[in-house]
Amino acid sequence: MRQRGFPLFPLVRHTLLLAWAAVTLFPIYWMVMTSFKQAAEWVTWPPRWFPHEPTLVNYVKVLTPGTSTFELGRQTLKILKPIGDSLIVSGIGSLIAVLLGSALAYSWARFGTGGRSYPYNILSIRMVPPIVIAVPFVVYFVTLRLLDTYTGLILVYLATSLPYVIWMMLAFVEEVPVELERAARVMGASRWKVLRSVVLPLTASGLVVTFLFVFILNWSELLLAMTLTNTEVSTIPIQLNKFQSANEGRDYGPQAAIGTIATLPVVVLGFLIQKHLLRGFSFGLLRK
Amino acid sequence: MRRLSGFLSIVGAVALTSGLTAASAQTPAGTTADARAVAGAKAYMQSKGLTSLKLNMMMPSIFTAGSTVEMANFEKETGIGVNYFEVGILQIQAKAMSEAVAKSGSFDFWIGDPISLPDLAEAGLAKPIDDLVARGKADLDDIVPGFQEQARYKGKTYGLVADGDNFILAIRKDLIDAPGERQKFKAKYGWEPGCPDTYEQWYQLAEFFTRDPKGAGVPEVYGAMGYRARSWGWRWWLQQFYAKGGMPFDDNLKPLIAGKEGLESLRDYIALTKFMPKDILGWATPQAYPFYAGGNAFSIMTYPSIAIAAEHPERSKIVGKNRYCLVPGYVVGGKLVRRSLQGYGNIFYVSSYAKHPEAAYWLAQYLTSKEVSARLVSGPNSVYDPYRRSHLTDARVIKARTKEMVETHLKNAQVMAPMILIQGAVEYNDVLDQNIQEALLGKITAEDALKNTAAAWEKITNQIGRKQQIEGWKAIKPAFPTKNVPD
Amino acid sequence: MTAAGAPGAGGLRRWLERERVFKWLPFVPVQGLFALLLLPNFLLLVYLSLLSWRITRGAWWNAAFTGLDSFQRALEDSRFLWALARTFAFAAVAVPLELLLVFGLAMLCRRSFRGRRIYTSVFLLPMMIVPAVVGYDLSMLLIDQGPFNQLLSLFAGRTVTVRWLSEYTPAQLAVIGADVWQWTALTFLVFTAGLAGLPEEPIRAARVMGASRWQIFWHIELPLLKPVIAIAVILRSMEALKMFDYPMLLTQAGPGNATETVAVYLWRVGWEFARVSDAAAMSLILLVAVAMYILVAIRVLRRERRRLTEEGAV
């Protein structure tokens, strides 16, 4: 396709894109820089765009084991346990969600199970603001002895991730030509073999993308995690929240270190999947 | 020698027996409250057949620092240690309420804002500890009267006070003593600058000492500081309101805040804010203290732990340059009335659903005993402020906080008033706070702020049940001071 | 082919092969999960809303049935109604803003050019950062003497000190800004997928017939993009109406009530004021409001989807 005949177009494009890229990167840049600054440089006027004396002390402070240390009257919260807890809860929850949800998407796409409106009804689950069910959830979980357990939170994340999984996998499953599957069945393959040999390879990238996407969502979730946990489970958003209110320490350096560390896994994963993400979001509406 | 050892073994046997049976009903041995706490704890452990135990304690993350050393000491002596369950200070209420519903026993004891005690007591989470107090003989008499009131609700004791958080006013005497300042001030306002007696005088001091020498629009020195942030600001206004002679309710729980006292004190409160940093609407202790200790303000009305921050050898730029003043007041009916608000106060509460409530109590008694509390109060990172008469004469406390400060602080305690501590306190105060902030932002007038608050308060009272509230209010009224000014 | 008879020899495997069984396999655990986990809570929520229970009034199973009292109180609670209006208003500002931004970005990134990969990678970054981190990060940037004000001063040529977190409207802008900053990435993805999926034939045909670039865009591409826009609006609105993290973390719903979204207010009513029944009633009202809003969008979505699968392309 020909470009516009506007000679300066590439220049304009780059300017605009750069502008938004700068907006996007600015807070991230600042956070990363702060994580390498010493206390005296955190809040200065004029602000320091680059640490004059870079240091790793903030990272050291947050990466050592335990829940917190106390120094100079300021408390530094640690990040190792929260990272572990977040990985467990988000990882397992998202994994099971993907397995169940893809299977369900396949079933609906091929057999129409659940009725034509099923995906739309499922979406309505996602509509519910978590605050709405937070209070009854506490009561319910206590009765089931699921409060402040990994199992409890995993189940919750599983339930809330399923709608997204189903929608995304629908798009990928519908791309698999039914003829291929039929052909395999004619040649005597069992349904399971069809799934393994035909459907799975063709939707592999979709599975990966879906997993990572709901993983990101669960990794970031704050409200339900705060409501349904106390001492045993402490995910990253909960841990970060202890810093956040105006009434907690503005201990910027270690906080920035935690922020950077908490972001890294997700950013890495995100880069891996971004090419694939573009495909997953058509929601079955668009032609290939 | 044999007689002695025989005697000792009898004593030992008696002690052992009473230790084994003591778990229920007897005062543990010990001449001091902390010794009794240790003995009681050991007896408890024995009766349960445990050698070590970890209690879960929920507390605001900001407070943990001061107490870890003492917790460790207790653990060494009794085997009872503590797992901290930290929560942001503004989420303590939500978490405690959640536990009142969940009844899961996920924490044994906690520290929280006193305004949440009435609700948590009614909800059944806070455990009345009168029996334990009587058994352990906690040194309640030594506590300056008034502090322990915030740990009581409807006649029962629910907690042990660990902290005396009535407000104090700190001013920079070095700025007053700077050459020429005294004369200029006196010439302009007609009185010798120093600790203000009235809010008007404080206003004048703030006006005079706000300095913007370069005309940058941002003062280098702010005349005053106080908290104006959401969830905090209302306490500072309440103190002024009390000093005007105002009471929040009458005996029928009809709100009285929209009257003359409320209006005038709120207008003064708003007027003083103009000498404060503009960001003050978002600041609490972690921002305010370093700001003042960095020498950026002339005065600050705040919690007494400001003395630790302002006199800290490493973190403060104004060591030795502060004067700690009695809280100012208003002249009411020809007489000066000073009021200091108990704006928080760390109190140890025990959970009814705790697995080891008695152990938690012993630890609390230990931490609030004369000896240990003196250590806690004088620690370098401490947020625990003096509250006992014995602190007045304790060398460590004086060294950490200066003699002047401790004396002034405990004098302020003679005129200290409680916050509004009836059921629904969180909601009453939240509505008040919200309206005050809107008035501060200029969105509504002071008059409307108070009227809206009064109307909302009526609704809350009706919803909770007026009779109940009247009862609760009657129970807290004795906690209000009777003196106008300290002796 | 597999016999559709009774499960006999071959046992379990054979039985599972049957279409009737096979297709329900994933449904059983999923529906079971929803039925056991979500449904009882929803029912409990409805039940609680019909009491006037507070946590300070003893056990909820002993509380008296008061019917629609809580709903009445909720509808008379001006703070609740304001929070509701505010939340919808935030969404109404944030979502179109994102749509416009994203539209521009996606159009600019449409054709392949050098560096496109890098730009798109950067644009997706914000989505991957935990909102709690975003909250803390932005609160550090937006303080009076922070770098953001410094940048503004640079552009404005004079010292600018907007009090982002302690004044009414700036605080609201800050919260909306945080949302826009973070979730533009998601909308960007949807749009890019949409643009990439546009069929080529109609556009080529129009070009051949001499249509101008603008006409092609307005009359062909835009209508084809309607389903994409609908999805973007639905997704983003759903999430925007639940806004909790940013107000909580950036401003504690302050100053005053400037940024108190309905999620924050419900949190307060339920947990801090202990008025659980009121919170339950308000939750249901909120749900109805959100559902009405989303249902309209879903109607559009279903219609477009049906049109495309049944009628084919334009």
C92 lies in a domain? Answer: yes
B327-350, pLDDT tens digit by residue? 999 999 999 999 999 988 888 999
The set of residues, in sequence order, having a beta carbon less than 8 Å from that of A114 and lying 6+ positions away, is: A104, A107, A108, C27
pLDDT of residue A247: 36
pLDDT of residue B200: 94
- Closest-CA residue of chain C to B89: C252
pLDDT of residue C254: 73
What mean pLDDT comes out for the span B74-87? 86
- Closest-CA residue of chain B to C159: B216
Cβ pair B207, B236 in contact under 8 A: no
> For B84, phi and psi rounded to 5 degrees?
-85, 135
Which CATH number characterizes residue C76's domain? Answer: 1.10.3720.10
pLDDT of residue B148: 86
pLDDT of residue C252: 77
Residue C268, chain B, CB below 8 Å: the answer is yes
A128-151, pLDDT tens digit by residue? 777 777 778 888 888 888 888 899
SS3 sequence, C293-308?
A: HHHHHHHHHHHHHHHH
Tokens of A81: 């346990």
What's the CA gap between C234 and A163, in Å, rounded? 14
The yes-or-no verdict on residue C39 having pLDDT over 70 is yes
pLDDT of residue C2: 43
pLDDT of residue B23: 45
Distances (CA, A) of A203 to A91, A109, A257, B462, C30: 20, 14, 37, 61, 21
Compute the mean pLDDT over every residue in chain A, rounded to the nearest whole number. 77
Half-sphere exposure of B214 (CA within 13 A, CB side): 5
pLDDT of residue C313: 43
Query: Which pLDDT band, with edges at 50, 70 and 90, does A74 fall under?
Result: very low
- Closest-CA residue of chain A to C309: A285
Cβ pair B360, B59 in contact under 8 A: no
Top mean-pLDDT range of A164-178, B249-263, C129-143: B249-263
A1 and C121 within 8 Å at the Cβ level: the answer is: no
Query: Which pLDDT band, with edges at 50, 70 and 90, does C205 fall under?
Result: confident
What's the CA gap between C139 and C137, in Å, rounded? 5
A75 and B282 within 8 Å at the Cβ level: the answer is: no
Q: Which chain C residues are within 8 Å of A288, Cβ to Cβ?
A: 197
Name the CATH superfamily, with its identifier, for domain B19-161+347-382. Answer: Periplasmic binding protein-like II (3.40.190.10)
Where is pLDDT greater, at C137 or A154? Answer: A154
What's the CA gap between A137 and A130, in Å, rounded? 10
Give the closest residue to B344 by CA, choosing from B260, B287, B416: B416
What b-and-e string marks burial along A165-175, b requiring 16 or more CB atoms within 10 Å of the CB?
A: bbbbbbbbbbe
Read off the pTM.
Answer: 0.84
Q: Which of C73, C165, C271 sits opposite B97 (nearest CB)?
A: C271
- Closest-CA residue of chain C to A249: C136
What's the CA gap between B410 and C83, in Å, rounded? 43
| Length, in residues, of chain A | 288
C19 lies in a domain? Answer: no
Compute the mean pLDDT over every residue in chain B, rounded to the nearest whole number. 87
Distance from CA of C170 to the nearest CA of A (A): 17
C8 lies in a domain? Answer: no
Per-residue DSSP letters for C92-161? Answer: HHHHHHHHHHHHHHHHHTSS--TTHHHHHHHHHGGGGS-HHHHHHHHHHHTSTTSHHHHHHHHHHTS---
Name the CATH superfamily, with its identifier, for domain B168-342+417-479. Answer: Periplasmic binding protein-like II (3.40.190.10)
The yes-or-no verdict on residue C132 having pLDDT over 80 is no
pLDDT of residue C209: 84
The set of residues, in sequence order, having a beta carbon less than 8 Å from that of B191 and lying 6+ positions away, is: B201
C274 and B437 within 8 Å at the Cβ level: the answer is: no
**How do the domains of chain A map onto residue ranges?**
80-280
- Closest-CA residue of chain B to A71: B65
The yes-or-no verdict on residue B361 having pLDDT over 90 is yes
Cβ pair A64, A126 in contact under 8 A: no
Q: Which chain A residues are within 8 Å of C198, Cβ to Cβ?
A: 286
What mean pLDDT comes out for the span B399-412? 87
Residue A136, chain B, CB below 8 Å: the answer is no
Catalogue the long-range contacts made by B307-315 (C-beta closer than 8 Å, 24 or more residues apart).
B307/B168, B307/B170, B307/B400, B307/B401, B307/B402, B307/B405, B307/B409, B308/B380, B308/B381, B308/B382, B308/B400, B308/B401, B310/B170, B311/B400, B311/B401, B311/B402, B312/B380, B314/A72, B315/A72, B315/A73, B315/B290
Q: Which of B101, B229, B282 sits opposite C55 (nearest CB)?
A: B101
Residues 83-112 of B with CB under 8 A from A: 83-91, 95, 98-99, 101-104, 106-107
C273-284, pLDDT tens digit by residue? 888 889 889 989
Domain count of the fold of chain C? 1
pLDDT of residue C3: 46
Please classify residue B227 by burial: count the beta carbons closer than 10 Å to its beta carbon, then call 0-12 exposed, 13-18 middle and 19+ buried: buried
CB count, 10 Å around CB of C180? Answer: 22
Q: Which CATH architecture has domain A80-280?
A: Orthogonal Bundle (1.10)
Cβ pair A162, A97 in contact under 8 A: yes
C23 lies in a domain? Answer: no
C157 lies in a domain? Answer: yes
C153-185, pLDDT tens digit by residue? 777 777 777 778 778 888 899 899 988 998 888
A97-128, pLDDT tens digit by residue? 999 999 898 888 888 877 878 877 887 777 77
The yes-or-no verdict on residue B185 having pLDDT over 60 is yes
Residue C66, chain B, CB below 8 Å: the answer is no
Distances (CA, A) of C97 to B59, C188, C242, C247: 41, 12, 18, 19
Least confident of A113-127, B127-141, B247-261, B433-447: A113-127
The yes-or-no verdict on residue C72 having pLDDT over 70 is yes
Q: Which of C23, C132, C181 sits opposite A237 (nearest CB)?
A: C132
What mean pLDDT comes out for the span C232-243? 80
- Percent of chain B at pLDDT above 90? 45
C105 and A17 within 8 Å at the Cβ level: the answer is: yes
> For C101, phi and psi rounded to 5 degrees?
-55, -50
A135 and C138 within 8 Å at the Cβ level: the answer is: no
What mean pLDDT comes out for the span B138-155? 86
Q: Which amino acid is it at A98? A: V
The yes-or-no verdict on residue B379 having pLDDT over 70 is yes
C255 and B437 within 8 Å at the Cβ level: the answer is: yes
Q: Which chain A residues are within 8 Å of C123, Cβ to Cβ?
A: 20-21, 24
- Closest-CA residue of chain B to A249: B286
Crossing angle between the packed helical segments A252-280 and A150-175, to the nearest 10 degrees: 30
What's the CA gap between C16 and C19, in Å, rounded? 8
Under an 8 Å CB criterion, which residues of B touch C?
Answer: 90, 93-94, 97-98, 100-101, 119, 122-124, 216-218, 229-231, 277-282, 423-424, 426-427, 430, 434, 437-438, 440-441, 443, 463-464
Size of the A and B interface in Cβ pairs below 8 Å: 93
**How do the domains of chain B map onto residue ranges?**
19-161+347-382, 168-342+417-479
What mean pLDDT comes out for the span B80-104? 83
What's the CA gap between B74 and B71, in Å, rounded? 5
C97 lies in a domain? Answer: yes
> For B417, phi and psi rounded to 5 degrees?
-115, 150
Structural domain span for residue C123: 42-311
What's the CA gap between C157 and C153, in Å, rounded? 6
The yes-or-no verdict on residue C241 having pLDDT over 70 is yes
Cβ pair B382, B66 in contact under 8 A: yes
What's the CA gap between A12 and B473, in Å, rounded? 69
The yes-or-no verdict on residue C58 having pLDDT over 60 is yes
Shared fold status for B19-161+347-382 and B168-342+417-479 = yes
A138 and B101 within 8 Å at the Cβ level: the answer is: yes
Distance from CA of A249 to the nearest CA of B (A): 5
